[in-house]
Amino acid sequence: MVEVDADSLEKMLAPARVGMNLEPIRLCAACYADSPCHKIEWQFKATKGCDRHKLHLLSECPNCGGRFKIPALWIDGHCQRCFMRFTEMVNYQKFVEV
Ligand SMILES: [Zn+2]
Ligand SMILES: [Zn+2]
């Protein structure tokens, strides 16, 4: 654990707060199926959906309504409440109307 003083932590987080929502954590299950990791652009306020798949992002589990854990804890790749796999959630994502 590296210690960061409060001041430099503030500087690191300040620009991130402007254009990003840290909550809720959002997910494109189709992207996750391609590469199992969180993408930072899912948290940008300007992001309405996934550009690659033209799908709305999920901000909660479509099966149980549980919020997603922080991406650092996405080790198992499933909902921590109902254990639905992230890759299955693609079936619940609605297409973005173009
Ligand atoms: Zn996607
Ligand atoms: Zn769930």
Taking the centre of ligand 1 as the mean of its atom positions, its distance from the CA of residue 84, in whole angstroms, is 18
Of the listed ligands, the closest to the CA of 63 is 2
Give a yes or no: residue 69 inside a domain.
yes
Residue 32 in domain: yes
pLDDT tens for the chain, residues 1 to 98: 666 676 776 666 655 556 888 899 999 999 999 999 999 999 998 998 999 999 999 999 999 999 999 998 898 999 999 999 999 999 999 999 87
Domain presence at residue 5: no
Residue 79 maps to a domain: yes
In angstroms, what is the span from residue 55 Cα to ligand 2's centroid?
A: 19
51-57's contacts with Cβ under 8 Å and 24+ in sequence apart are: 52/28, 53/28, 53/93, 54/95, 54/96, 54/98, 55/28, 55/30, 55/90, 55/93, 55/94, 55/95, 55/96, 56/93, 56/94, 56/95, 56/96, 57/26, 57/27, 57/28, 57/93
pTM of full prediction above 0.85: no
- 60 located within any domain: yes
The count of structural domains within the chain is: 1
How far, in Å, from the CA of 63 to the mean position of ligand 2?
A: 5
Ligand closest to Cα of 69 equals: 2
